[in-house]
Amino acid sequence: MNGYTWDSSVVFSSLPQLMSGLAVTLQLTGICAVIGLVGGFLVCLMAMSRILPLRWIAVIFIELFRCTPALVQIIWIFYCVPFFFGIFMDPFTMAVLALGMNITAFNAEAYRAAIQAIPSSHYDACTALGLSSLKRTIYVILPQAVLLAIPVLLTNTIGLLQQTALVAIVAISDLMYQGKSLATQTYRPIEIYSTVAFIYFILSLPLSQVVGFCEKRLRARLA
Q: pTM (2 decimals)? A: 0.87
Please choose, from the candidates 120, 108, 119, 121, the residue with its C-alpha nearest in 3D space to the C-alpha of residue 149.
108
* Structural domain harbouring 51: 16-114+122-222
pLDDT cut 90: percent of the chain above it: 56
For the domain that residue 190 is a member of, what is the CATH number? 1.10.3720.10
Condensed to tens digits (0 to 9), the pLDDT of residues 69-104 reads 999 999 999 988 888 888 888 889 999 999 999 999
pLDDT digits (tens, 9 = 90+) for 123-139: 888 888 888 888 888 88
Q: Chain centroid to CA 29: how far?
A: 7
**164 in a domain, yes or no?**
yes
Does 223 have pLDDT greater than 70? Answer: no
More confident residue, 214 or 168: 168
- Please indicate, yes or no, if residue 55 is contained in any of the structural domains: yes
Share of the chain above pLDDT 70, in %: 97
Residue 5 within any structural domain of the chain = no
Q: Is 7 a member of any domain?
A: no
Does residue 46 lie in a domain region?
Answer: yes
Q: Specify the higher pLDDT residue, 223 or 175.
A: 175
Cα of first residue to Cα of last residue in the chain, in angstroms, is 52
For residue 2, the model assigns a pLDDT of 66
Rounded to whole angstroms, the Cα distance separating 95 from 89 reads 10
Residue 2, in any domain of the structure: no
Give whole-number Cα distances, 180 to 63, 188, 190, 222, in Å: 32, 10, 11, 46
Please give the average per-residue pLDDT across 166-183, as a whole number: 92
127 domain residue, yes or no: yes
HSE on the CB side for 106, CA within 13 Å?
25
**What pLDDT is recorded for position 139?**
82
CA distance 101 to 199: 25
Structural domain contains residue 41: yes
Instruction: Return all residues near 22 (Cβ < 8 A) that are at least 6 apart.
Output: 175, 199
Least confident interval from 8-12, 62-66, 146-150: 146-150
Nearest to 109 by CA among 163, 169, 65: 65
What is the number of domains present in the chain?
1
Q: Quote the CA–CA distance of 104 and 137 in Å, as a whole number.
A: 19
Average pLDDT, the chain: 89
Assign 188 to helix, strand or coil.
coil
- Name the strand (E) or helix (H) holding 82: helix 70-85
CA-angle at 23, arms to 35 and 149, nearest 5°: 35
